[in-house]
Structure 1
């Protein structure tokens, strides 16, 4: 804080870092939730495989599916994605306590700064701290962190010219704990006395490791880990790699419906080697409430916020250097990559399926089903990945776990989520505005403009706004009573685009008045 001694006006200038909005309003972001032995436990936005490797240690020891699914996601055209590492309830965080610079006259250095890993687990024991003098004044120092070893690929975070002085604009605790530009792996706590003095500065140290982190043995709570994604306030397409258990997934589907901005891509169950195809079909259908009306085992909830994809896919093994090594993986990572690609190329109204949805680096699938089996699986709402001649292994399904409504298609559900988010954020300015016809007209104009843009982009059915949507926000749906209640009502109707799921070709022969026909 400045020391003012004469009358006058004094100006301090402080610039905050620029925060980049990674996703425009309403656009979907992929999210992965699962176990891993390394990395943050909070929802963390990752923009590339290289960034995931630096934050989460890459593929790890190969025992967890999460990193493999994320690798498949980026390999199939995926962009940014959120990662939530699910940890055990009995896991503990690693930490280190740095001593201050009180020396001489029998004074013992005291605790001044605690650095604690943000997530539990032994990975925190691999974080090393270095403190050096900044050379810019008393009590100022440089703090650097090295995560994951001393190789060139290890991630390093640096906070230069910082201080423990709470009144300084470069206070180390504020900078390390900043939600936008702070550390991604540790949190800082000041332990020194007040008022601050220059001696309350961490002593110089080189590569002092955090300690005490353990992974724990309890099963992680995947529901709690997934629901943390609500903090992002984003439209999400979520995958829990390899998880197909209805008891685990149904509470997450319930949450997705309440949240309103998330849908789940569920992996079909993994089955032992040698399982007959007809048994695989039966196991897949057990997931579907359309074909399984029992309780043992219970099916997934009948919800358009969930879609099942299978079978597992045979891909190049990214964990093995040997040429030709393969690994059987759940399809969710590759599927979400195709979702992201279709969103960028077309928009969420397009079903990510067909010959354009060919999965990259997929050599085969765990099962190849007959036409009659494919009929049964599609009727059960199971989306099958199968070989398409002259194309490759492609997604050939676009259904949710809900039948009999337009949102039985995943594209319809995701588009409704997109429109909901777009309109909510476009009209949020109106809260606490004077509730008058002027406000109604303004809201109607804004919603009309947004829907007109969607119409022009071909995302609504109809060639003009008159045929694609309707918007009503006037005295017909805003009465004196609703105004007295503090309410404004906007009625919106949209013409949804549905996918062409079946193509029928009818061949006829005409010879002298006789006709023979065949439907394909």
Structure 2
């Protein structure tokens, strides 16, 4: 008996298992998961403007990154517009009691000074002091003769942190001050001065990496009283001006009994041992406090919180009956959190034509405003229709949902004053962050949606990038875009994200956080991913005529709505290391172009899948076939039908070829081949109720490096007809 392997039209890459496909995603459709002040949980909501984003998920809040990423997305997409399918998530774990914890604001390395200290009382155990120690390497002469009687040409060679300095004295180097001038002029990273009538050479570095090595053989050694040998700096840090979190951890934990020091995105996090509100981290004083990004003060732990955030609500009724309970909500779903407390107001009035019905005014007070403004009005409500009207999933209220107690068939009393929703709680969101699995759960909300790219406005680690790869590879028709951690070095990125590189990858990563206006008179650092998607994946291809295979990089992807971008200055070796060794894409700065996306690579190791535009093109071809060729299902599997399928595919591929999607050498027939005849549809395949069409294509590659060779000639240039 013949068994069907798949029903309907199936378009797939030859080395990918059968994968359900969705409709062709237009340019500018983005899926994102994130935390936000409001919004229904674990459901994708469509927004086509920044104003709509504020309405659905709340305005800007320094607690949440999403609002700033949304602003970056829409501002960089500009006139071309964007469609955001956003999914709010929350943590699913119970909120256990936690110890006191405080995170610094400065990213390593930290510029300290010798003997800087920090005094901390952890969990009321008493003051404890951690001190950062460092001295310079120093060499002092013994028995130097001044004036020197140098005739000129005398030499002194020494190394400073391994870098060799060579001094050739002139005959003018007689007095000790003249000698010091000529030594100091020979290089950088050290200083020479007089000490007790002798020459002293000191490294500029404080710490154990500091070293001065006097090399043997110098003809000026005896006259200066110097001998060959090495002097090392001392202390408990390598370089006091470049202290790492690891060094802070070692020094502070050694000096304290109950304090734990962790690295959190390159910042120092102090955490106590005792859980609950009785635990505390009390930073008392010390010159190192502000340099580590901390402030003097006390932070307490928290007790067990509620299992989940709860929505605000209000009950309107007639005496003890006819109870209508209004809860903060959005299109039939509850909208938990504290956002509606004292912000959403209801006013119930008698309907003008039927006193047995009610009209409802929903009013909203924007953060910072003193007046609630009507945002919705519903008329002619009674027990028979209020639930179906307000809780309608497409046309209902975007501020409340309503519930009627069983058996109540009347209407509540009219309002004498507007009544505010209250008692909404942030619950565990106040102290616990969602886990990777919480964000993974949010990805399911994008199944069946037309999205070109999917991202996360919050997480920036390799675990999330791996989850994103799994989801996108499973769909095989969407590109995942992720962010690397703030302040991470190229070496750290290489180590943390190496496991994500694979033969054919469906994700692309970007380095850097950006600084933006926080909307409250200051600035805030947020992931650059929203800005990148708006500029590179929407504005650039849309401005070029909706060319889906446009490489999302280059100077035309300049970023708007940024004050600065971290790690935007690279040497050529650093750019190559980031691109070749990590496949993470960089954002760079040039004075004439501003900040823009420099490279466009996926995490693929196979060269044919390396470029992002090839992945975008392949996704587009697959889902376009899926959408447009469905009318061939259930048609006869005969030469005429196969010809129709082949011709339809060729027509579509020729349209892409006219947009320069494929290589041009040798013409269309040399770069695109479509086979749908008896050669790949033998009788056995036909009997299995399958029709096969093979499409081979050679995508056009981009120029990642442009080389212009300048050739100077002294023989003249002759131009002749060929």
- Partner of residue 31, structure 2: 31
Does residue 131 of structure 1 match 2:131? no
Change (3 A) 1:509 1:351: same
Equivalent of residue 533 in structure 2, options 317, 336, 345: 336
Cα deviation, 1:41-88, whole Å, max 9, x if unaligned, reads 32122222222222222112x122111111111221252212222212
Higher relative contact order (CA 8 A, sep 6+): 2
Does residue 494 of structure 1 match 2:705? no
Equivalent of residue 173 in structure 1, options 355, 368, 387: 387
Q: Return the alpha-carbon distance in structure 2 between the equivalents of residues 151 and 439 of structure 1.
A: 68
- Partner of residue 137, structure 2: none
- Partner of residue 514, structure 2: 313
Most deviating of 484-493 and 142-151: 142-151
Q: Return the alpha-carbon distance in structure 2 between the equivalents of residues 304 and 188 of structure 1.
A: 46
Instruction: Tell me how far 1:116 sits from its aligned partner.
Output: 5.3
- Partner of residue 234, structure 1: 450
- Partner of residue 157, structure 1: 376
Equivalent of residue 489 in structure 2, options 280, 283, 287: 280
- Report if the CA contact (8 A) 2:313-2:326 is conserved: yes
- Partner of residue 215, structure 1: 426
Q: Return the alpha-carbon distance in structure 2 between the equivalents of residues 255 and 189 of structure 1.
A: 37
- Partner of residue 75, structure 2: 75
Equivalent of residue 259 in structure 1, options 448, 451, 475: 475
- Partner of residue 45, structure 2: 44
Change (3 A) 1:379 1:300: closer
Q: Return the alpha-carbon distance in structure 1 between the equivalents of residues 595 and 72 of structure 2.
A: 14
Q: Return the alpha-carbon distance in structure 2 between the equivalents of residues 244 and 411 of structure 1.
A: 23
Q: Return the alpha-carbon distance in structure 1 between the equivalents of residues 630 and 460 of structure 2.
A: 37
Q: Return the alpha-carbon distance in structure 2 between the equivalents of residues 285 and 414 of structure 1.
A: 25
- SS state of the match for residue 77, structure 1? helix
Instruction: Tell me how far 1:495 sits from its aligned partner.
Output: 2.8
Instruction: Tell me how far 1:159 sits from its aligned partner.
Output: 3.3
Does residue 417 of structure 1 match 2:619? yes
- SS state of the match for residue 506, structure 1? coil
Does residue 450 of structure 1 match 2:652? yes
- SS state of the match for residue 30, structure 1? strand
- Partner of residue 292, structure 1: none
- SS state of the match for residue 76, structure 1? helix
Instruction: Tell me how far 1:396 sits from its aligned partner.
Output: 0.5
Change (3 A) 1:98 1:402: same
Q: Return the alpha-carbon distance in structure 1 between the equivalents of residues 30 and 377 of structure 2.
A: 29
Count residues with an aligned counterpart.
458
Equivalent of residue 327 in structure 1, options 505, 521, 524: 524
- Partner of residue 554, structure 2: 354
- Partner of residue 87, structure 2: 84
- Report if the CA contact (8 A) 2:313-2:424 is conserved: no
Cα deviation, 1:250-300, whole Å, max 9, x if unaligned, reads 1222011112233222222112xxxxxxx72212222432xxxxxxxx656
Instruction: Tell me how far 1:335 sits from its aligned partner.
Output: 0.2
Q: Return the alpha-carbon distance in structure 1 between the equivalents of residues 685 and 374 of structure 2.
A: 56
Question: Where do 1:382-397 residues align within 5 Å?
Answer: 382-397=584-599
Instruction: Tell me how far 1:430 sits from its aligned partner.
Output: 3.8
Q: Return the alpha-carbon distance in structure 2 between the equivalents of residues 130 and 246 of structure 1.
A: 49
Q: Return the alpha-carbon distance in structure 2 between the equivalents of residues 139 and 236 of structure 1.
A: 50
Instruction: Tell me how far 1:405 sits from its aligned partner.
Output: 2.8
- Partner of residue 480, structure 1: 683
Cα deviation, 1:118-173, whole Å, max 9, x if unaligned, reads 232222444333333333446543334334557679682333334443xxxxx443
Change (3 A) 1:176 1:482: farther
Instruction: Tell me how far 1:28 sits from its aligned partner.
Output: 4.3
Instruction: Tell me how far 1:385 sits from its aligned partner.
Output: 1.0
Most deviating of 30-39 and 155-164: 155-164
- Partner of residue 276, structure 1: none
Unpaired runs of 5+ residues, structure 2, are 1-22, 93-306, 718-722
Cα deviation, 1:24-52, whole Å, max 9, x if unaligned, reads 75434123322222333321222222222
- SS state of the match for residue 509, structure 1? coil
- Report if the CA contact (8 A) 2:309-2:424 is conserved: yes
Instruction: Tell me how far 1:432 sits from its aligned partner.
Output: 4.1
In our comparison, the structure showing a higher alpha carbon Rg is 2
- Report if the CA contact (8 A) 1:32-1:239 is conserved: yes
Cα deviation, 1:175-209, whole Å, max 9, x if unaligned, reads 3343332334544445444xxx9x53454345444
Change (3 A) 1:100 1:465: farther
- Report if the CA contact (8 A) 2:365-2:371 is conserved: no
Q: Return the alpha-carbon distance in structure 2 between the equivalents of residues 236 and 284 of structure 1.
A: 26
- Report if the CA contact (8 A) 1:77-1:337 is conserved: yes
Q: TM-score, normalised to structure 2's length?
A: 0.57
- Report if the CA contact (8 A) 1:57-1:148 is conserved: no
Let me know the Cα RMSD of the aligned residues: 3.2
- SS state of the match for residue 50, structure 1? helix
Change (3 A) 1:399 1:191: same
